[in-house]
Amino acid sequence: MTENLNQNNNEILNENFNETRPFTWLERLKYVFTDPVKLFDNLREYPKVLFPILLVGIGMMLLILLRLGSYREFLSSKMMEQLAKQGTEMPNLESLVNTQVYVSIIVIAVTPMVVWVFKSFLTNGLASVFGGNGKFKDAFSVISHAFIPVLLGQVIITIISLIIGKFDVLINFAVLLPESMTGGLLYSILSQIDIFIIWYQILAIIGISQVYGISRKKSALAVLLPWITWILIVGGLSTVKAAM
């Protein structure tokens, strides 16, 4: 009888331990797609950030390296087109392209983290104003894990690109607009939105709600307001650049 009681107590302790321990990297990758509520409940107790930083940073670099040949051709054609419009003489284009490739690889790997910092700072502030209880690291943990489906989108783009032998593969909503609207503000805004970006925002809303203990409506405001601000700024700058 005593042995059975001890065994039952041990099982209960093991279950409690399994519920409260930090998830492994593989578990976090699985739950971000299969059970985000469970993932973010765990991140509320253990706001880890190393896994998504390494996964996205290294993943983005590897994906661009897989398409390095077509990327060089893409950059070369764009530079030649730009120089022709400016009416300037062609410099050592190969050296210029090589430099741009190396810079682009670094930028592609680092840019998501910069976006996460911007979004996490604003989201944390707004969530706190709406009565949430959390810190910047909590928001950063949520935002960085919620971004993982965007990496999946880049994997799909890379596969399509390798199949068709073309670097510039677009899956954003700007492709739905007529060519005459290219370069306009609406085009610039929609070029930043696709199904994976929307997925990312939905996961972030769920995560902020779970981690900060606020309603989904308040969480949506905390997540979407920084995003809308970001796409308007980037869209506006892209429109001005196109006009110039």
pLDDT tens, position by position, for the chain (244 residues)? Answer: 444 544 554 544 444 444 578 999 999 999 999 999 999 999 999 999 999 999 999 999 999 889 888 888 887 777 777 766 766 666 666 777 778 888 888 888 899 999 999 999 999 999 999 999 999 999 999 999 999 999 999 999 999 999 988 888 888 998 888 888 888 888 889 989 999 999 999 999 999 999 999 999 999 999 999 999 989 998 888 777 766 6
Task: Report yes or no on 166 lying in a domain.
Answer: yes
What is the C-alpha separation between 174 and 163, in angstroms, rounded?
A: 22
pTM of the model: 0.85
pLDDT at 83: 67
d(CA 235, CA 181): 13
Give, in order, the Cα–Cα distances in Å from 96 to each of 22, 46, 71, 93, 147.
Answer: 46, 45, 13, 5, 32
- Give percent of the chain above pLDDT 70: 86
Any domain includes 3: no
Q: Report yes or no: 144 and 53 within 8 Å, Cβ to Cβ.
A: yes
**Given this model, what pLDDT does residue 151 score?**
96
pLDDT at 91: 61
Is 66 domain-assigned?
yes
Range of the domain at 147: 46-243
For 92-142, write each residue's pLDDT tens digit: 667 777 788 888 888 888 999 999 999 999 999 999 999 999 999 999 999
pLDDT at 93: 67
6 domain residue, yes or no: no
The answer as to whether 65 is a domain residue is yes
Task: Tally Cβ neighbours within 10 Å of residue 30.
Answer: 14
Structurally, the chain folds into a number of domains equal to 1
Assigned domain for 28 exists: no
The Cα–Cα gap between 222 and 87 comes to 47
pLDDT for the residue 147: 97
Q: So what's the pLDDT on residue 2? A: 45
10 occurs within a structural domain: no
174 within some domain: yes
Q: What is the pLDDT of residue 166?
A: 87
